[in-house]
Structure 1
Amino acid sequence: MDKPRLFMLCLGAMLLSLVSSCGSSKNKNTTENEETTQASAVQVPAFSADSAYLYIERQVAFGPRVPNTDAHRACGEYLYRQLQAFGATMYDQRADVVSYDGKILKARNIIGAYNPEAKKRVLLCAHWDSRPYADADKKEHHHTPIDGANDGASGVGVLLEIARHLQQQAPAVGIDIVFFDAEDYGIPEFYDGTYKEDTWCLGSQYWGRIPHVPDYKARFGILLDMVGGKGATFYYEGYSARTASHAMKKIWDAAHRLGHTQYFIKEAGGEVTDDHVYVNRFRQIPCVDIIGYNPHSDNGFHETWHTLGDNMDCIDRATLQAVGETVMAVIYNEK
């Protein structure tokens, strides 16, 4: 995951106020009752964590998905074909982006649209590249690329499983699935130059300025990042709370109705620079980052973050199930 020094503890009371301030208490109760009624009325397809796990495993099998490598190119072809096989209208966005050290990266944003004619749309996204550096690991591993099973592949795996269902049963709104590239090529911990925030999320920055269709809009977006780790918890992420509080509340409420209270914690977590920032900044789409947050770690992330331990051993089907079920409940209940 992109982001040394990025998880800054937020003022809990302020963020909780932002997330809960969607209206008066009367309106809040009315909204909750309506959403509960909708949830019981709509038959949401059954998410399969086993299937999502296999999609993650398939990505990791290519090797580290670092831009400009054979593994990256091969995995990109696999992801494009897989979304296409699931009935999406495909957009293949290729771009030359510049890394923190001046390298030209051959980036590829892979986009699949469902019901592309619909005006009412929801954006689902994740990054598919993996970190070229294990810079949170032992010093001798700092220049070794990581598998990125959790940090990257987990979000993509969940979205591929959702895409499989979208082909079979369409929700009432249009859905766009975007796999962003070059998210995790930001300045490493060992770099001795000036730190720059915008060296991360290069694919979403490009897409934000030049979307796959002109003047692209969506009601809201959901970004999945590090959503497969064992013991993962998802707190209210700070930037999402400020810019997408209504959608965030909808997601966490859905998770709690489904019984996933141990995963989706209704408390302020940290603030992170991630793809959702540029989705909002450049396209003005409120986008919620569902991202694993560990309040007991030094960096705020899973213990395998930016280490060689971010492999299939850290992936937990129960975490995938909680996230996948929640996202599907949200999108299938959109009217």
Structure 2
Amino acid sequence: MNNFRQHVFAAAAALLVAAAQPALASEVQTELWDGKRALGHIADLLRFTPRSMEHPGHQETIDYIKAAMAKSSADAVMTQSFIVNDDDGKPLHLTNIIARFQVQNPRRVIVATHYDSIVKAYRDPKTPDAPMPGANNSSSGVALLLETARVLSLLPKPEIGIDMIFFDGEEGPKSLGAGDPTWHPLGSPYFVAHLKDFYPTQLPEKAVDFDMVCDSDLKLRPEPSSIASARLEVTKFWSIGDKIAPGAFVGKSTSYDIADDHTALQGAGIPSFLVIDFDYEPYFNTTQDTIDKCSADSLQTVGRTLLQYLYAP
């Protein structure tokens, strides 16, 4: 009986030790990442359209993200609220949402997206003043992070601490993104201006920003500013993705820089890159950016790549 108890205790101790050890990239159960679950988040978020500043759907989106993240293994889910005046002096109320995993780990990576949406479908040839659903721009990035957070809760901890940031105000003061000639993100520059609130002694090692990642014809190209800032990380991410879904990750970069929330992080000295399928015609910022244009397989491709990347050495 004593030998049996010793065997049981030894086995249990071994399991506890194994659970405490960081998982190797080769051991990550990427199949836990479910594209259909992620697509469900997009369906939920579309109920809040428009999800723009100063609209009811904006706060509903904040509440939705916070509730979903509260179910994850994040050590803390924090909000960073602030006010920015638009060009006419009208105050805009913004909130960045930051979920921190392994908050005591000094080594950190930022995984980011934005949750605010274009307020109206300014590129729509028929109804440019109608609400823009934003299934791809911006619900897809939110869905990606929420499903990743769920799966992280089922896996051993990676070697690096993760800060998931849901930026507000990426579409600019008028919530028209590229349709506004004075466009500039609001949430990510504010976060960068207050980096020491979260990183008092050491900056994150790297950051990856996601935007428009559910296109059914997924073709992801790195953009030049990402390569200049984080070439090794871009190479690593695209290499992992190419093994998961050959053809979705295109090695040739775009011929132009794409400004997004990663731009402010780059300016702060954090190696940062953007994952985006910017070729989304004819649906980009029109009333046709709806869930039927999204693919669970595309979301799953990007999500499983991200998961593997977070556990890569």
TM-score, normalised relative to structure 1: 0.79
Shift of 1:284: 1.3
Q: Unaligned 5+ residue runs, structure 1?
A: 1-37, 295-300
> Would you say 1:307 and 2:292 are equivalent positions?
no
Shift of 1:55: 1.2
Partner of 1:78: 64
Alignment of 1:245-284 (within 5 A): 245-258=231-244, 260-269=245-254, 270-281=256-267, 283-284=268-269
Partner of 2:221: 235
SS of residue paired to 2:232: helix
Partner of 2:168: 181
CA contact (8 A) 1:232 1:302 kept: no
> Would you say 1:317 and 2:300 are equivalent positions?
no
CA distance in 2, matches of 1:102, 1:325: 43
CA distance in 2, matches of 1:132, 1:82: 24
CA contact (8 A) 2:49 2:131 kept: no
> Would you say 1:210 and 2:194 are equivalent positions?
yes
Shift of 1:166: 1.6
CA distance in 1, matches of 2:251, 2:227: 11
Letter in 1 for 2:146: L
Structure 1 residues 100 and 257: CA distance shift in structure 2, 3 A: farther
CA distance in 1, matches of 2:258, 2:110: 19
Which structure has the bigger radius of gyration?
Answer: 2
Partner of 2:20: none
Partner of 1:28: none
CA distance in 1, matches of 2:90, 2:228: 34
Q: Unaligned 5+ residue runs, structure 2?
A: 1-23
How many residue pairs match? The answer is: 283
CA distance in 2, matches of 1:45, 1:123: 23
Partner of 1:108: 95
Q: Percent identity?
A: 27
CA distance in 1, matches of 2:168, 2:179: 23
Letter in 2 for 1:290: V
CA contact (8 A) 1:99 1:185 kept: no
Alignment of 1:152-191 (within 5 A): 152-169=138-155, 170-185=157-172, 188=176
Letter in 1 for 2:188: S
Structure 1 residues 124 and 79: CA distance shift in structure 2, 3 A: same
Partner of 2:11: none
Structure 1 residues 103 and 292: CA distance shift in structure 2, 3 A: farther
Letter in 2 for 1:104: P
Letter in 2 for 1:160: L
List structure 1 segments (4+ residues) > 4 angstroms apart after TM superposition.
41-45, 186-191
CA distance in 1, matches of 2:258, 2:233: 18
Partner of 2:109: 122
